[in-house]
Amino acid sequence: GENVEQHPSTLSVQEGDSAVIKCTYSDSASNYFPWYKQELGKGPQLIIDIRSNVGEKKDQRIAVTLNKTAKHFSLHITETQPEDSAVYFCAASKSNSGYALNFGKGTSLLVTP
C-alpha cells in the first residue's frame, strides 16, 4: 500500500517567517495530495490539496508544490501567524472509489510571536 513520509516532525518559526513541510510518497499511481490542519481537541481540516496534473497551487499564504518524478510534495506557509500553530498532515491517495487516504505522521508547527 501507499507509504507517506513527512518531515520535520516538529517545526518552530518566528511570526512572519516562512514554514516548509515536506512529504514523500511511495505509490507512483497516487494522484491526489491534500494537506490537513489539526488544532487541539479537533478533527483535521483540509487546508489545500493538489492533483497530479499540476505542479503548484496557491491559496493566499499557503502553497503546495508537487514533484511527481521525485514523488515528493511540500507545503509552504508564508508570513506565519500564531494562529497557524497546529499539527499539519500530508496525505496521498489514488482518486478512485475504493482507495483510502494515507496520512503522514504529522508536523507540529509552533509560531512564536
Q: Which residues bind other proteins (CB under 8 A)?
A: 1, 6, 31-32, 34, 36, 41-46, 49, 51, 89, 93-106
Q: Cα separation of 82 and 17, whole Å?
A: 11
Q: Which is nearer to other proteins, 19 or 35 (CB)?
A: 35
Q: Which is nearer to other proteins, 61 or 105 (CB)?
A: 105
**What are the residue ranges of helices labelled H in the chain?**
none
Terminal CA-to-CA distance of the chain, rounded, Å? Answer: 41
In the bound complex, what is the minimum distance in angstroms from residue 91's beta carbon to other proteins? 8
Q: Cα separation of 65 and 75, whole Å?
A: 7
In the bound complex, what is the minimum distance in angstroms from residue 28's beta carbon to other proteins? 16
